[in-house]
Structure 1
């Protein structure tokens, strides 16, 4: 008789994007459960993502980051690597500028209520995004992907970030103990969801366009990025591109997927472990890299690094 673990893996092998089926065997680990932590720890963990979003949006729209607006929020943490003003049209720049200001507010509220954490070292360089997109497509793009080059590439890079924070807030909400904490996460989640929806709608309108100079459409890139995040997260399908098979569409009736959601159209949750595996781009919460080359900050993230060091890895 098949075990639940065997059945889980069989389902994942069927549903994962085809480009990963040829090279990757999805796993069903036993560490996809919520982390034991208090409310402040959970917000401190989330602030890593809020820092990342603030720096990428502000630099992309304005050519300057959080230190130009609220330098005390960094609490002595290092400035980000590689951020610069993107080549955006007027409308897209206005959207991203607004996103950046929203992230300043998110950081302010987390600092005000919990004291906040030092900003970790964040890598938003074109080289880091190039590595991420190479990993998503399965080969080295030529020329390397540069999110700052034009609006479509920048918005595809945006696609790669806020949704993960959204998943984190969905996942942490049931674990919160205080009413004030639940109130705060509701406010944060509402705006993060709006940012993700605005980004996906922007890209959906251009879905069939080829991303120059590659022979890859916008939709294909979103499917590849979502597939990579599922692969790195290691806890099943919690990420979907802009076009999906009907069995993954809303009520199994549509291939359109402007919003990513489960079979009941509820947002997918992710645990801190899953998020670290994704934002580190290593598939391992103990091994930093990607957007956080020295690891994320706060007790939850640093304990994974500490445990890793204890094991001598």
Structure 2
């Protein structure tokens, strides 16, 4: 190659590298786009759930939460009630650590995106009593002994079956309402990981679907079915399915196994913001706090229902 040809190639390569350096990374593309006020308000609502997921995962795995791991995120919001370290086997603990740190990332991204619309951690109740009440409501009877999610790995996996799925259906319902490209990119990225978390949890539980959850006379699959039925009732819509379904409701109408919850086209169900609050409050009403959120959620949309 002649000296002049080499110089032309080197010059072109330098320009290419310079251009690449100036292009935002795809993973951070949402930072460089505008968000409408409506977008920010819609992203506020799942912030309530991201706080819950982060604290529940981190505490179960480490015995402490955001105040120690990422103290810049809760911004002085009240500490969760009753949360504690779970008695997890090494494999499950490894998974839960990963889930918890993913939620730290989610909160950090939302904090940067919302700016002044970001709010401190809301009051969360993750006590044994709250979980026991949820399971009693799911089965329509008082379980004896009361359900304790912290006692072993299987109970904990059953408990977290209740969480990321509501968040992912909320994100599915939120995306069509967003206007800004940045908002759509951010929520799509959050949705992808929430869906992955739910898939991991459901897969881990699926291998035990026929096992009894001791000391109760109910299998893992029955627990998931009852929890999903409860969430459908609270959401006032059919947007939730357990690990086993009638064959007609399985993938392409050919299987009863249901490792992923989806409609007849294997398309994700969606919840509105109101339905998300109906469900996580455990009251069936976005205007009536309870369950994991004894004082309700925060943000423009959540507060609008509390004031109604």
Matched, 1:284 2:285: yes
**Which residue of the other structure, out of 147, 150, 158, is the alignment partner of 2:149?**
147
Match of 1:136 in 2: 138
Deviation digits for residues 258-298 of structure 1 (CA, Å, limit 9, x no counterpart)? 00001110110100110111100001110000010000010
Aligned to 1:60: 60
CA drift of 1:124 comes to: 0.8
> Which stretches in structure 2 are left out of the alignment for 5+ residues?
1-36
Runs of 4+ off more than 3 Å: none
Q: Please report how far the alpha carbon of residue 73 of structure 1 lies from its aligned counterpart in structure 2 after TM superposition.
A: 1.3
Look up the match of 1:91: 91
1:260 aligns with 2:236: no
Equivalent in the alignment of 1:18: none
Match of 2:240 in 1: 239
Aligned-pair Cα RMSD in Å:
0.8
Q: Name the structure 1 match of 2:226.
A: 224
The corresponding residue for 2:76 is 76
Cα shift at 1:76: 2.2
Measure, in 2, the Cα distance between the counterparts of 1:198 and 1:204: 10
Aligned to 2:101: 101
Q: 1:60-101, CA deviations, whole angstroms, 9 ceiling, x for partnerless residues? A: 111101111112211221010111110000000000000000
Residue 112 of structure 2 aligns with which residue? 112
Q: Partner residue of 2:49?
A: 49
Q: Distance in 2 between matches of 1:203 and 1:296?
A: 29
Of 113-122 and 266-275, more deviation after overlay is shown by 113-122
State the Cα deviation string for residues 89-126 of structure 1 (Å, max 9, x = none): 00000000000000000000000111221211001111
SS at match of 2:58: helix
Q: Which residue of 2 aligns with 1:40?
A: 40
CA deviation after TM superposition for structure 1 residue 246, in Å = 1.2
SS of 1:71's equivalent? coil
Q: 1:193-222, CA deviations, whole angstroms, 9 ceiling, x for partnerless residues?
A: 010000000000000110011000000000
| Unpaired runs of at least 5, structure 1 | 1-36, 308-313
CA offset digits 1:223-259 (Å, max 9, x no partner): 000000000000x211000000012111111101000
Aligned residue number for residue 210 of structure 2 = 208
Alpha-carbon distance in 2 for matches of 1:112, 1:240: 34
Rounded to whole Å, the distance in 2 between the matches of 1:38 and 1:255 is 40
Aligned to 1:13: none
Does residue 249 of structure 1 match 2:216?
no
Matched, 1:121 2:123: yes
Q: Distance in 1 between matches of 2:231 and 2:249?
A: 16
Q: How many angstroms apart in 1 are the aligned matches of 2:43 and 2:100? A: 19
Residue aligning to 1:293: 294
TM-score by length of 1: 0.85
Q: 3-state DSSP class of the match of 1:73?
A: coil
SS at match of 2:98: helix
Q: What is the rounded CA distance, in whole Å, between the counterparts of 1:238 and 1:190 in structure 2?
A: 18
TM normalised by structure 2 equals: 0.87
Aligned to 1:31: none
